[in-house]
Amino acid sequence: MTGTSILARPLPEQIVYIGRRMFERRLTDMAGGNISARDGNNLYISPRYAGSRQHWQLETDDILCGPIESDDLLSHPRFSREGKTHLAIYREFADVGAIIHAHPFHVLPFCVAGRPIEPVLESTQKFGVTPVARFAPAHSESLAHNVVACLRGREANIRKQAAAVLLPKHGIFVAGLDLFAAVDALERIDWNAWCIMSQAFLPAMPVAYEIA
Ligand SMILES: [Zn+2]
């Protein structure tokens, strides 16, 4: 990456770059996650075990590419087990250019509680409330179905930047216009989650500081 903006680099390089940033910033963990981007009728996607075996230190050779409309990728030994949900989202929503599934540090408590994330920052209003999908086991066809169902009706949010869905006891899916829109939404929603939780630790404001 000498001198050229990462935004101008090929999609596999962008996926590698974003995976490293997400891991550094605790937006996902060693247990996993996956990152994909649409390129016409194909998608590029991070491989299975990107977290547990590679700690998100991927190289461009690790990135898989295959058709969106067929199930060819499902038989690839390195195709991510959550890849079915990526395919289902691309097939249903023409405006989605990139998808991130992650296990973000501050979002996971909401997944455990089964609690939607309301936007409390100015910077997250455009995503609306991030709902919780109906439970389905990780890697299942029903999970793909439930995530797509939660994104329906939120196409306007996707066209603005992105829309996200929480998976009970598991993590988050973000569907965005492109990779940078999706990862930006992921971090904003994660910090928004921290802002909600941290209110419980804040002591009452001393009277002397109250705004008149
Ligand atoms: Zn996961």
Q: What angle do CA 173, 85, 30 make, to 5 degrees?
A: 55
Q: How confident is the model at residue 138 (pLDDT cuts 50, 70, 90)?
A: confident
Better pLDDT: 23 or 211: 23
Contacts of 184 (CB under 8 A, 6+ apart): 161, 162, 176
Contacts of 136 (CB under 8 A, 6+ apart): 142, 143, 145, 146
- Ligand 1 center–CA 141 separation, angstroms: 14
- Ligand 1 center–CA 122 separation, angstroms: 28
- Ligand 1 center–CA 3 separation, angstroms: 34
Neighbours of ion ligand 1 (CB under 5 A): 32, 171
CB 75 within 8 A of CB 64: no
pLDDT in tens, 142-172: 999 999 999 999 999 999 999 999 999 999 9
Q: How confident is the model at residue 3 (pLDDT cuts 50, 70, 90)?
A: low
- Sequence ranges of the domains in the chain: 6-197
pLDDT in tens, 40-68: 999 999 999 999 999 999 999 999 999 99
Give me the phi and psi of 199, to 5 degrees please: -60, -30
Q: How confident is the model at residue 212 (pLDDT cuts 50, 70, 90)?
A: low
Task: Identify the bridge partners of residue 130 per DSSP, sorted by sequence position.
Answer: 117
**What is the mean pLDDT of the segment spanning 107-124?**
98
pLDDT for res 192: 98
Cα gap 164→129, rounded to integer Å: 9
Average pLDDT, the chain: 95
SS3 category, 64: strand
pLDDT for res 2: 55
**What is the mean pLDDT of the segment spanning 6-29?**
97
pLDDT for res 100: 98
- Ligand 1 center–CA 83 separation, angstroms: 10
Cα gap 98→10, rounded to integer Å: 14
- Ligand 1 center–CA 54 separation, angstroms: 15
6-197: what CATH class?
alpha beta
- Ligand 1 center–CA 204 separation, angstroms: 37
- Ligand 1 center–CA 171 separation, angstroms: 6
pLDDT in tens, 184-202: 999 999 999 999 999 988 8
CB 195 within 8 A of CB 121: yes
- Ligand 1 center–CA 206 separation, angstroms: 42
- Ligand 1 center–CA 134 separation, angstroms: 15
Q: Please tell me the pTM assigned to this model.
A: 0.94
